[in-house]
């Protein structure tokens, strides 16, 4: 299932193959949120619109990469970053994860998370 809002150029799908370029390298230019999600995960569907809205509101100051952990070998990335539950949202800056949270959260929480960790 694909939760990315059509027309939002700040939200994109990512996988094991392009993660290094689209997340790690890109995070040297601006913060990148990674949404580790799964198709079977109800909280993942709940948080997706709030994540996308919060990123869209930043108008290019932060990007959102959506990683479906059950596709291909994407679970290797979840293991690399010690993701234990879904959804897990991780902020990358300067090539490194700097903060994360798990489970569905309201829009105001996501906005505050981005404000605190994107600077």
Which residue's structure tokens are 């392009």? 18
41 is catalytic: yes
Token pair of 85 as six digits:
């539950």
Q: What is the DSSP letter of 28?
A: G
Question: How far apart are the two ends of the chain, measured CA to CA in Å?
Answer: 32
Specify the pLDDT at position 7: 62
Q: How far apart are CA 85 and CA 51, in angstroms?
A: 17
Q: Is residue 30 part of a domain?
A: yes
Q: Is residue 47 part of a domain?
A: yes
Asked if pLDDT for residue 39 goes beyond 90, the answer is yes
Q: Is residue 3 part of a domain?
A: no
Catalytic choice (11, 38, 44, 55) = 44
Q: What is the CATH number of the domain that holds 15?
A: 3.40.30.10
**What is the average pLDDT value for the chain, to the nearest integer?**
93
Asked if pLDDT for residue 6 goes beyond 60, the answer is no
Q: Is residue 6 part of a domain?
A: no
Q: Is residue 2 part of a domain?
A: no
71 is catalytic: no
Catalytic choice (23, 32, 34, 41) = 41
Mean pLDDT on 36-48: 96
Specify the pLDDT at position 2: 42
Specify the pLDDT at position 14: 96
Q: Is residue 23 part of a domain?
A: yes
Identify the domain containing residue 71 by its residue range. 11-117
Q: Is residue 1 part of a domain?
A: no
Specify the pLDDT at position 9: 81
Q: What is the number of domains present in the chain? A: 1
């Amino acid at each position: 299932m694909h939760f990315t809002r059509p027309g939002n150029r700040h939200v994109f799908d990512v996988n094991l193959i392009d993660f290094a370029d689209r997340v790690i390298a890109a995070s040297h230019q601006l913060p990148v949120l990674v949404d580790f999600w799964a198709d079977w995960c109800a909280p993942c569907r709940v948080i997706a619109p709030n994540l996308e809205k919060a990123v869209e509101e930043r108008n290019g100051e932060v990007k959102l990469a959506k990683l479906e952990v059950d596709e291909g070998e994407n679970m290797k990335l979840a293991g690399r970053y010690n993701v234990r539950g879904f959804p897990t949202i991780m902020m990358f800056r300067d090539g490194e994860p700097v903060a994360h949270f798990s489970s569905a959260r309201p829009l105001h929480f996501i906005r505050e998370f981005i404000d605190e960790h994107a600077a």
